[in-house]
Amino acid sequence: MSPDSIKALVRSIPDFPRPGILFRDVTTLIGHGAGFAASIEWLARGASERGAEAIVGIEARGFIFGAPVAASLGLPFVPVRKPGKLPGPKVSTEYALEYGTDRLELDPGAIPDGQRVVVIDDLLATGGTAGAAVRLVREAGGLVEHALFVIDLPDLGGAAHLVGYGIVSEALVSFDGH
Mean pLDDT throughout 110-131?
97
Nearest alpha carbon to residue 35 among 6, 4, 78: 6
The CA distance from 154 to 171, in Å, is: 10
Has residue 99 got a pLDDT over 90?
no
The CATH number of residue 89's host domain is 3.40.50.2020
What tens digit of pLDDT does each residue of 13-54 get? 999 988 988 999 999 999 999 999 999 999 999 999 999 999
pLDDT of residue 161: 96
Provide the pLDDT for residue 132. Answer: 97
Whether 69 has a pLDDT exceeding 80, the answer reads yes
Handedness of CA 50, 167, 7, 12 (dihedral sign): positive
> Cβ–Cβ contacts within 10 Å for residue 157, how many?
14
Q: Tell me the H-state helices in the chain.
A: 3-8, 27-30, 33-49, 61-73, 128-139, 158-163
Mean of the per-residue pLDDT values for the chain? 96
The domain tally of the chain equals 1
Length of the chain: 178
What's the pTM value of the predicted model, to 2 decimals?
A: 0.96
Least Cα distance to 147 among 39, 56, 27, 82 occurs for 56
| pLDDT for the residue 98 | 66
Residue 68 has pLDDT above 70, yes or no: yes
Give 178's pLDDT tier (boundaries 50, 70, 90).
Answer: low
Instruction: Tell me which residues are annotated as active site.
Output: 61, 98
- What pLDDT is recorded for position 137? 98
Question: Is residue 117 predicted with pLDDT exceeding 90?
Answer: yes
Across the range 143-159, mean pLDDT stands at 97
Q: In which domain, by residue range, is 12 found? A: 3-174
Please spell the DSSP secondary structure of 4-53, one letter per residue: HHHHHTSEEEET-SSTT-EEEETHHHHTSHHHHHHHHHHHHHHHHHTT-S
